[in-house]
Amino acid sequence: MTEPRYTDLVQTLPANVPFVGPEEQERARGAPFRARLGANESLFGPSPAAVKAMQAEALETWKYGDPSSHDLRAALAAGIGCDVENILVGEGIDGLLGNLVRLLVAPGDAVVTSDGAYPTFNYHVAGFGGALHKVPYRDDHEDPAALLTKAKEVDAKLVYLANPDNPMGSWHSGSDIRTALDDLPEGCLLLLDEAYIEFAPEGTAAAIDADDPRVIKMRTFSKAYGMAGARIGYAIGARGLIRSFDKIRNHFGMNRMAQAGALAAFDDAAWLLHVQGEVARARDRIALIAQENGLRALPSATNFVAVDCGADGAFASAVLEALVARGVFVRKPFVAPQDRCIRISCGRPQDLDVLAEVLPEALSAARG
């Protein structure tokens, strides 16, 4: 009996996965984490109104979700100030990224990103056979000018820029992004990942017309809205581009509870404000804990903080492993010199108490 005949492309793909989930780490260590601070989830939770909407909608799960996510798109468009036709709802930014890459990237097509930026984007590019070109970070920031220069050099169809950035938490002003756009080569789409935009200072979101065919923005309910497990995000882009997703997307792919929850969450401005305040407090506390341990926290416009462990990537990895072994789930950048940091998500006071308790031991263990 023979094996199925995989495509040539699939045969070249590695079997490793972008991220191991915390549950798998918990099964491996035989105990739950004491503080779940590794995936930039919102420990402050979703809006109570969103929880209520999801709970009510649980009774309606016998029905498929509306494949056009009409009501949610209408609310998003009204809130953002664009047309419904400029909005696409999808299964989180990860799902939207996969479909965008599929629309544009055939085997060998050039794509540009920063070396050390979002691995799941790279995973999708590899998965469709794209040729990924990377430029280094500059002073722990993604480097828009270098990205666009590289895009021109390799004739890229797509260039990825997260603003604010993950994993470093750094950011550019929206006006700088707009200015950089002047250098975007013809036929190259800028994918602007704004997963963390709600945590960033005023003026970080680039004011770009939704119908500008050069840019697609992606946003999510996973971070500030605290609904990572609901898997719902959205894209803002030119209507022709948005419509083109209909050629390939999983039309009935949206979870009804996620649709209902996102609609309620987007409407709950007070909860968003509350979360923003909690995140700002948690960033300060993480910086303080870092300082008390002789480490330096980098400035952050996100719901996490990159903490410079003061040595090389191997040392930061040792700190990370020691934290994980002591029940604190964190992650870290993969690429030097950013890999000298560990990345700690903002948590509630009780989560950060655990961090404060464990970090000195973890540093000792890593040094010992």
Shorter beta-carbon distance to its own copies: residue 247 or 368: 247
Sheet holding 131-135, edge to edge: 87-90, 233-236, 215-220, 189-193, 158-162, 110-114, 131-135
Nearest in space to 168 (alpha carbons), one of 222, 101, 93, 114: 114
Pick the binder of its own copies from 30, 182, 252, 368 (CB under 8 A). 252
Residue with Cβ nearer its own copies (75 or 363): 75
Tell which residue, 315, 262, 226, 171, has the closest CA to residue 44: 226
The stretch near its own copies (CB under 8 A) out of 222-230, 288-296, 315-323, 351-359 is: 222-230
* Least distance between its own copies and beta carbon 213 (Å): 5
Under a CB-based contact definition with an 8 Å cutoff, are residues 344 and 355 in contact?
yes
Question: Which of 37, 46, 242, 301 touches its own copies by CB under 8 A?
Answer: 46
Site string for its own copies, 62-101 (x = CB under 8 A): xxxxxxx-x--------------------xx-xx--x---
Q: What is the DSSP string of 112-178?
A: EEETTS-HHHHHHHHHTT-EEEEE--BTTB--HHHHHHHHHHHT-SEEEEESS-TTT-----HHHHH
CA dihedral 303, 309, 313, 319 (to 10 degrees): -90
Closest CA to 68 of 306, 208, 242: 242
What does the angle CA 112 – CA 170 – CA 173 come to, to the nearest 5 degrees?
85
Establish if 198 lies at the interface with its own copies (CB under 8 A): no
**How far apart are the C-alpha atoms of 164 and 80, rounded to whole Å?**
18
Is the CB of residue 216 less than 8 Å from the CB of residue 190?
Answer: yes
Contact status: 233 vs its own copies (CB under 8 A): no
Residues 4-23 that bind its own copies (CB under 8 A): 4-10, 13-15, 17-19, 21, 23
CA-CA-CA-CA dihedral for 344, 349, 353, 359, to nearest 10: 20
Q: The tokens of 296 are what? A: 């330096």
Query: Shortest distance, CB of residue 54 to its own copies, whole angstroms?
Result: 4
- Residue 58, interface with its own copies (CB under 8 A)? yes
Select the residue interacting with its own copies from 175, 250, 291, 350 (CB under 8 A): 250
Scan residues 117-156 and list those touching its own copies (CB under 8 A). 120, 127
Binding flag, residue 368, its own copies (CB under 8 A): no
- Radius of gyration in angstroms for the set of CA atoms belonging to the chain, rounded to a whole number: 21
CB 94 within 8 A of CB 219: no
Residue 285 contacts its own copies per CB under 8 A: no
Residue 274 touching its own copies (CB under 8 A): no
- By CB under 8 A, residue 31 contacts its own copies: no
- Dihedrals phi, psi of 192, to nearest 5 degrees: -105, 105
Q: How many residues bind its own copies (CB under 8 A)?
A: 89
Nearer to its own copies, 36 or 172 (CB): 36
Residue 89's nearest CA partner among 220, 226, 248 is 220
* Residue 334 lies near its own copies (rule: CB under 8 A): no
Range in contact with its own copies (rule: CB under 8 A) among 44-52, 161-169, 195-203, 283-291: 44-52
The residue (of 197 and 275) whose beta carbon lies closer to its own copies is: 275
From the list 28, 183, 203, 243, which residue makes contact with its own copies (rule: CB under 8 A)? 243
Nearest approach in angstroms of CB 141 to its own copies is 26
- Applying CB under 8 A, the span of 162-170, 252-260, 309-317, 352-360 interacting with its own copies comes to 252-260
Nearer to its own copies, 57 or 194 (CB): 57
The residue from 32, 201, 213, 360 that contacts its own copies (CB under 8 A) is 213
Among 57, 142, 143, 193, binds its own copies (CB under 8 A): 57
Residue 127 Cβ vs its own copies, minimum distance, rounded to whole Å: 5
Q: Does residue 165 belong to the site contacting its own copies (CB under 8 A)?
A: no
Structure-token pair, residue 339: 């890999």
Nearest distance in Å: CB 162, its own copies: 17
Residue closest to 305 by CA, chosen among 329, 274, 284, 321 = 284
**Calpha distance 368→361 (Å, rounded):** 10
